[in-house]
Structure 1
Amino acid sequence: MVGVEIPSVDFFARYGNVYNIDSKFLVAYDRNFNYISTPRTNFLGTTLFSDEVQRFFNFNDIQNKYYQNVFDGRLFGGYAIYDFGTGERLNTGYSVSVDGKSKYFVFIITPTASVYSDIDETLSAERSKFFLLIAGITAAIVILVLFLVKLNSILNEQIKRRTKDLEESNKRLKIANEQLNIHDRMQKEFINIAAHELRTPTQAISGNLELIKMNYVPSIFQTSSSGQIGIRGELERLVKDEDRLHDYSYALVSTYRNAQRLEKLVNDILDTSRIESNRLELHKESFNLNEKIQNVIKDIHNKPNLSPHHDNSSTPIDIIFELQEDPITVSADKVRIFEVLSNLINNALKFSNGKPITISAKRFQKNEIGSIKSNHNNELIDTENTREDKDEKMVVVVSVRDRGKGIDSDILPRLFTKFTTKSDQGTGLGLYIAKSIIVAHGGNIWAENNKDGKGATFYFTVPLTK
């Protein structure tokens, strides 16, 4: 390539020149080690190992050894790093073969600063990529952690909600179980009470009839014609003997009284069943409540089995009806109101200790009921419907007051619940039924011990006819 033109300006613009420490350039030699291409044109045709060239490169041993190894074919490629006074360079050389023989040698000289800069840029780029990767991974981890925290929070909330629901369910189950136990206990109590209440009048009826059969009118139990004829003679003999006639009359009255007791027990059981199944029916009509109270009092006085005497005393207990307003017209079920009045008055008679019973009925506005209660005793037993509507609806308040020993504090809070009684007789259903009837009419019922410590007073309200 001797005589070939020096590389163009564009070439050196690309590769720079040997004088610029920051530039890269290319040098070529022939097989005699003469320059055939170099940015330093005064070296063209001159051998690398001439004094002129060596002085320029300061007789650099590293450079000379590397060039010699490439020229001799001991190295193909490789590199050498050296500084001949103008800055450190990286030299890489290759032989160019023609017909299998090395004809030319090409060397690329690159400033190490440029290499280091490229390395730094590469490292910086890789470092940036690495940091971006780390940042991405970190961000992903943060997002994952936040997601896990959120998921954990959601799961905790769900667990808390499920736990709360489970606790509520357990509470409801516990309450239901307690209610079932209470119901079971009440059923057993009712069965025991009902069995006792059924057995007592049944035995009395059976005993009285057996006594009549054996001692007084045995023929009455015979179905034959001879038995019918014998009845007249036995009755004639019975009438002539006053003592036997008295005992016979007592047996009949006792039988009647116990039969009524059985009837009341059966009716109470039926009413309780209707109330429990929400089948209590009312047949309302307008009537004067004062007349109904007076009819109940008359009925009690006229019944031999419920004669208003205390401890079988011959002295009747006074039942005083304080007539304050007349008429007092209500729209209600006559039979059911009669039943409530009878129950309350008979209870008062039972615990009156022979002292008078006082009954009253008076009109009030519905929103005045609360003040009526507060003006009496604080220990009031009320029904579930004790709403004090602030309207102008009128009601009648009926009170039944006795002068007995009062209501036992043990049963005062549950006075109107089923099977509540301190008496040796009765099922404890009467006040429960009375409450249910009054509530069904839209009224209230409650009770209190009298302030003077003598007896108790029961109250109930019924809406007046508009």
Structure 2
Amino acid sequence: MKLSRFNNVKESILKFFKVNNSIHTAAIFIVIIPLVLFFYFQQETEDSIRSSIFEQQKQVQIDSTRAIAQHLQSDMELILSRLQGLAMSSIIQDGDYTSNLTKSLLVDYYKKINSTTPVDRLFLYDKNGISIIDIAPSGNPSYAGMDFSFRSWVNETKNTMSPVVSDMYVGIDGKNRIAMTHPIITTNSSGSYYNGLVGVVIPINEFFNYYGNIYDIQSQYLAVLDNKGTQLVHPVDSLVGKPFFGNFTQNLTGHNDRLNNLVKTVMSGSPSSEVYQFINSERLNAGYPIIVEGAPMYSVFVITPTSFIYSKINEIIDKERLQMLTLIIGIIAAVLLLILFLSKVNSTLDKSVKRRTKELEDTNRKLEIANRNVQIHDDMQKEFINIAAHELRNPVQSLLGFSDILTKLIGNIDLYKHPMEAINRNAKRLKRLVDIVLEVSQLDSDLLTLNKEPINLKEMITEIMCNYQDRTNGDRKYNIVLEDSSGPNDSKILNADKSRLTQVIRNLIDNALEFTKDEDEIMINMNKTNNGREIEVTISDPGYGIHPDVLPLLFTKFVKKSSRGTGLGLYVSKKIIEAHGGRIWAKNNENGNGVTFGFSLPVQDQRSNPDNFNDTNQ
């Protein structure tokens, strides 16, 4: 008996350890296997990340170089434009170079230019190269009265009578500068004459340092060459002013073919990038040309030591490695805990899903009720508008009739004539509104009936234009022009409701006239589209255009471009065109002035019923 009890206890103990050993073994595998896999794949992943991030950094550097070049180009063109405005000003064109008014004008232009680009001074030279006015920051010497005809860019401006961007030169104070000038040209009956120039001088280092680092070669920096290959800016001072393809620079760079080809490509006007060795270190170089006056003037290069890039990449990788390791440890712990809490979480989720399901069902019921109420309200509103329009029709018609009778009885009695005219005019306006409301009600109820017949669209538009030309609106004259871009033998025959189509065209012309002046031209164009199966009509005006927020809603009810009208005309026009199987649209003109409305309709095939029409004007 005692032996039997001992054996039972022994088996229980062994079973306990076996079970715990299984748990321990599983736990060890759960911990070790992910860590082994993590370190196994980490190296490949990091190499891939390094390559991917380097390519991203390369693209960022290319984009940054393009942005800097475009910014430089924009700033230099702005300077030339302002110098042109100064040279063309009436004061300077009149030859007034010495008055206080001229000096004030130059001071004003100096402030404008300096607000966007750092310049040393703004000056005005006479035709002999003598400085007349010299605007410089406070504390700097004035060069007024000095002879600068020895400067090559002064003579180039005089000889070419064109704007000039100079080569780099050393100023009187020893600083490297470039000059930008614009000639003062006087034109009379005898011809054009050179009377001097206006210009600015720009300190090279201050100018280009505004766009990037030009001093620290250990980080990303800027290098700039002119169109002759002279190096204007470089962190290595000994390279500044040296030709890039000269012996000094080539010996320093080791006659690097990759670098040389990159510089040649950019100087020719095409952006490029390259990775190469430079003084025992690798460089990523992205170049972009600066186009001034239509030709490559400078080449800007953004250069980064790859060690600088990889140091940033390693920081990212180390951070990602730590995060990934932390994540794996957290996942392991979460998996171990998840097994213990899974049933409780499942129960909680089940209760949450049931609760949310019930809430969604309640919300859906409320939405269905709200939708029904909205539909009922909409139906009631349509019914009310329809009844109101019908009830107003007869009183308005009576009002019009009696006002016409009273107008005839009153005759030319001024005391009653003008009030009766106002009554008649407003009654007609009310009648038009009632008719539009009834028409919209029919369209909403799909009750529009079309009386289709073969019509010649070109003849119909010409007739409408004649009606406008016969009308008078104060002193205004209507300038409406029809242009037929289709071939002379193309059919203009449509199977359409003439009165409805006339209504659409008149509505679009009225819209154009409302937003144009007396002398403005309204252009109507006809053209065949869709391989000749459709005819397209566009009506363009040079008015104010349509706000982009209004444009998508223009053909819906109660949307309008002005404070006048009901906002229903374009909606009615759209319904009529669509009932004919066509489409209608509107867009702002590409030149920024005015808007173009257009519609297209299917063309009647003459061969289907040749006895019905004789289109001799085609």
- Which TM bucket (shorter chain)? 0.3 to 0.5
Mark the structure with the bigger radius of gyration: 1
Q: Give TM-score scaled by structure 2 length.
A: 0.35
Q: Give TM-score scaled by structure 1 length.
A: 0.45
Higher RCO (CA < 8 A, seq sep 6+): 1
